[in-house]
Structure formats: structure tokens, C-alpha cells
Amino acid sequence: MSDDATPQSGKGARPGKGEPRPAAGRRRGASAPRPKKPAPGAPADPGTPLPDSAAPAEAVTAPLASAPPAEAVTAPLAPVATAAGQRRPARWRGIVAIVLIVLATLLAPLTLAVLWMNHDLMNTDNYVAAVAPLSSNPAVQDAVAQNLTNELWAKVNVQQQLAGVLPSWAQVFSAPLSNQLKDYTYKGVHAIVSSKAFGKVWEVANRQAHTQVSAALLGKKIAGIDTAKGQVSVDFAPVVDQVKSALDGKGIHVLDGVAAAPGSTTFVLFRSATLAKAQKAISFFHKLSVALPLLLLAAWVGAIAVSRRRRRTVLQLGFTLALAMVVTLVAYHLGRGAYLNAISSPQLPRDAAAAIFDALLVGVLTAARTVLVVGLLVWLGALLAGPAGWAVWVREALAGVFQTAGTAAEQKGLDLGPVGSWVARRHRPLQLAGLLIAAAVLVFWGTPGLAGVLWIVVGLLVYLALVEFVGRLTRPPAGDAVAPRTGRP
């Protein structure tokens, strides 16, 4: 190798391998001088190097030229629009849930009325049981005695009979004597209808008159019954025979000529022209006596199933059910007052009509109060399942009780085997099934009353407690255990 190829130090010498190349115009080991900024408006010195932060115009505009178009900039917003589009089904489900809640609220009073009609009015035994206590009601007894006396006196002219047997000078006493005999007859009839034996006569008469109930409510054509009047009357022909026998024993034979044929002497329990006009509507809803309760349950289940906030939906269903029953109770009292104010027949005094109305519609009153309690219980249960502080405290307290009971059972060696594991895996569906069964019992029972509701609620609570206890007692297998999360990935 020649000496020319040997690296030399000094100006123009090439740096050795691995040695940094010094900058042009810069002494090795000296710091580079800072360039002077040109005066405003002066041309830049081409010999002066630009600082690193100062880039040529082409270098600055190059990224802008290669930047994506406006569509590409807004491309990341497309998933947001898609997400917004995915919220529409949730809104649609909420609307459907609201519609079903409103439908259930409207169907509740109607279903209650149809079930009451089928259970209390259309069933002969239940109808007789409802009106049986009226035989001991003083207002009804007085009305029956007064009505029968007037009908008996209308069939025979007692004053004319007295005028035929009295001497001419005593003819003026025929009218007072007739009134005295009428009062005596009234007392005799009242004594009969006030006796314990009248209760049996009352039940038999009402059982025979039950066919008129179907005719009055549904507009059925029954021989001898005028459905256009919308009335139900009771035949008291057997009482006429008892009255005649009682008067004959006192030596009074003025009623011997009165025939005691069936239907000759009646007492009208209720009469309503409005009822006759509503026969078609009542008959239509009577045909839906099974479909209406099923539709009501379907509306409840559908509203809960379609809703994304099911606890809130259950809360709304309980509240609206209680509200519907409050409206039903208000309508009951308003209808009662309107019915009593519309009574103008002297044969049915207001106090007797009120007693009959209350006896026939006591099932509606009891059922409405019962369902009102059920609605409040559902509402309270939904509140207990909510995030309120007191609700969380109650749930934690109950969970502690079940946990303590489960621990004690495990310490004693209680093992439920596959049954316990099956319940533990399905405790939520089992709880929902218990709620649906309890609701179905309440709907199809008819008029369970407050005592029946309490028994159903107690039975439901015991069932839910057993499901929760078994679910907490049975531990999942070791392979099914989920490792706790230690932190975010």
C-alpha cells in the first residue's frame, strides 16, 4: 500500500472508520455557530444553512398534500353513526313496553269485572250464597213484607167485602176496618219473613230466579221472562200460603180467594234499564272470560320481556295496577250512588236497594281491594330490588341470613347433590316462574280476598327463600370457578 492511501490529519483528510465526520465549515471539537435570522423582507442567504426546525416550503406542504381527503378524516365517525343506529331497536322496545303497560292497565278493571260476573253472578251456587244473607237484613225484610202485603191487597177488594157484611149504618167503617186488616196482614207477613224459616224460602226462591240473572245480563231468551226490563224478581207464592193460613187461624178469611200460583206474587231484587241496554256488550265480554285473563298475563309478561330496564317496568306495572284498582273503587262508589239515585219505585226502598247492591257487588269491592294490595306489593318488591340505600341494606341483610344458614347446613354435612346444583344454576328462572305462578293464581282464583292474598304472598316468599337457600348452599364445582381478576390487561 502506498503512502498516499495512508490517512492523514489536517484539512482534506478523510475520517477514519468509525470516526464521526465533522460538519462542513466547522472545526472539530467546536460548537456550530447559530445562524442569524434574516431581516424581515430580506432574502435568505443561500450559503447559510437552515436550522433543523426551519423546513423548506415543499417539506412543509408535502404532508398536507399527502393528507387524506375530508371523507377519510371523518371515517372514524362511521362507527358512532352505526352505534346510534343500533339504539333504535332499544327505543322501539321501550315503546312496545309502554304500550303493553297501558294495555295491562286498561285490561285489569275489565278482567276483574268479567271474572266477578262469571264467579258471583253466572254461578248459581255463588249467586245464592251472595244473596242469602239478605233474608236477615231488616231493610229487605220490611220491603218484602210491604211489597207482598200491597200485592195481596191489590188482588182482592177487602173494603167491598166488608161493606157486604156490615149493616148499613156501619158502612162508613169499612174503609178504616180495611186499613186495620191491611196493617194486621203486614205484621203477619213481616213476622213470617223475619223468622228463621224464611231463610230457606229465600234461598229456594233465589235459586229458582237465577235463570233471570242470565237473561238480564246476557239478554238470553227464556220463556216467561222479559229480558227487555233488565230485572230479577223472586217468587214468593209459598209465603202467600203461609199468610193465608195465619189469617185463617185468627178467623180472618178475606184472602181465601187469592190464588197462590207460581209467579203470582213476586219481589223485584233489582231493575235497571241501563242493564238491558248493555246486554250485548256484557255478552261479548262474557265470551272472553278466558281470553281476557290470558291477555292480561301476556301483556304483563311481554312488557317485562321486551323491556331493557325490567325492574323499572315491574315497578311501573305494580304502580299502574294499583292505580287502576283505585279508579275501579272510585267508579264503584260513583256507580252505587247513581244507581240508588235512579231508583224511583216505591216497591224497592233506597235502604233495601243499597243492601241488595252491596250484597251482589261485594265481590267486586273485595277483588279490587285485593288487587290493589297485590299491585302495591309488586311495586314494593321492585323498589326492594333497586339501587336505593335502604333496599341494598335489606338485600344484604337477607343475603347474610341465607349465607349463615348455608354455612351452618354445610357444617352439619347437608348435601343436596345434583338437585342442589340444578337449582343453583337455574335459580333466576325458578324465581321468575314462582312469580308468574303466583300471578296466575291471583288472576284465576276469582275473589281470593285479603286473606287469600296474604297466603299467596307468604307461600311465594317461602318458595323464593327455599330457592335462594338452595342456590347459596350448593357451591359450583372447582372447574367452574372463575378466577378473580387482578387488574385491567
> 126: part of which helix (H) or strand (E)?
helix 124-131
The C-alpha cell that represents 488 in the structure block: 385491567
Position 352 in a domain: yes
Residues 286, 407 within the same domain: no
Q: 246 and 304, same structural domain? A: yes
Identify the CA nearest to 127 among candidates 77, 184, 202.
202
DSSP 3-state assignment of 256? coil
Name 271's Cβ contacts closer than 8 Å, sequence gap at least 6. 229, 230, 231, 232, 345, 348
- pTM surpassing 0.75? no
H-run or E-run covering 232: strand 231-235
Residue 214 lies in a domain: yes
Tell whether 317 and 276 lie within a shared domain: yes
* Rounded CA separation 472/423 (Å): 10
Residue 417 within any structural domain of the chain:
yes
Where among 376, 404, 430 does a domain terminate? 376
The verdict on 394 and 320 lying in the same domain is no
Determine what percent of the chain is predicted with pLDDT higher than 90.
10
Tell me: do 282 and 179 sit in the same domain.
yes
Task: Name the nearest CA neighbour of 269 among 334, 344, 195, 209.
Answer: 209
Residues 365 and 408 in one domain: no
Under 8 Å between Cβ of 121 and 217: yes
Same structural domain, 394 and 465 = yes
Whether 489 is covered by a domain: the verdict is no
Q: Is residue 44 one of the residues assigned to a domain?
A: no
Q: Do 333 and 456 belong together in one domain?
A: no
299 neighbors 339 (Cβ within 8 angstroms):
no
Q: Does one domain contain both 362 and 412?
A: no
Q: Rounded to an integer, what distance in angstroms lies between the CA atom of residue 136 and that of residue 90?
A: 61
Per-residue confidence at 417, pLDDT binned at 50, 70, 90? low
For residue 54, being part of any structural domain is answered with no
C-alpha cell at 215: 237473561
pLDDT of 488 above 80: no
H-type alpha helices, 156-196 = 158-165, 174-193
Give the three cell numbers for residue 296.
292480561
Q: Determine contact, residues 293/111, Cβ cutoff 8 Å.
A: yes
* Distance, CA of 280 to chain centre: 27
What domain range includes position 462? Answer: 387-476
In a domain, 67, yes or no: no
Q: What is the pLDDT of residues 20-44, one digit of tens each?
A: 555 444 444 444 455 555 555 445 4
Per-residue model confidence (pLDDT) at position 103 = 94
d(C-alpha 431, C-alpha 390), whole Å: 22
CA distance readout (Å), 489 to 195, 482, 486: 89, 17, 9
On whether the CB atoms of residues 163 and 174 are closer than 8 A, the answer is: yes
Q: What is the pLDDT of residues 70-110, one digit of tens each?
A: 444 444 444 444 444 455 556 788 889 899 999 999 999 99
The pLDDT of residue 468 is above 90: no
The CA distance from 222 to 217, in Å, is: 12
Same-domain status, 157 and 241: yes
- Evaluated on CA atoms 44, 50, 51, 53, the torsion sign reads positive
Last residue of a domain, one of 376, 401, 426: 376
pLDDT digits over 107-163, tens only?
999 998 888 888 888 888 989 999 999 999 999 999 988 888 888 887 777 777 777
234's enclosing H/E stretch is strand 231-235
Kindly give, in sequence order, each residue whose CB lies less than 8 Å from that of residue 409, ignoring residues fewer than 6 positions away.
473
Mean pLDDT for all residues in the chain:
74
Q: Which of 346, 376, 406 is the last residue of a domain?
A: 376
Q: Beta-carbon neighbour count of residue 247 at 10 Å?
A: 20
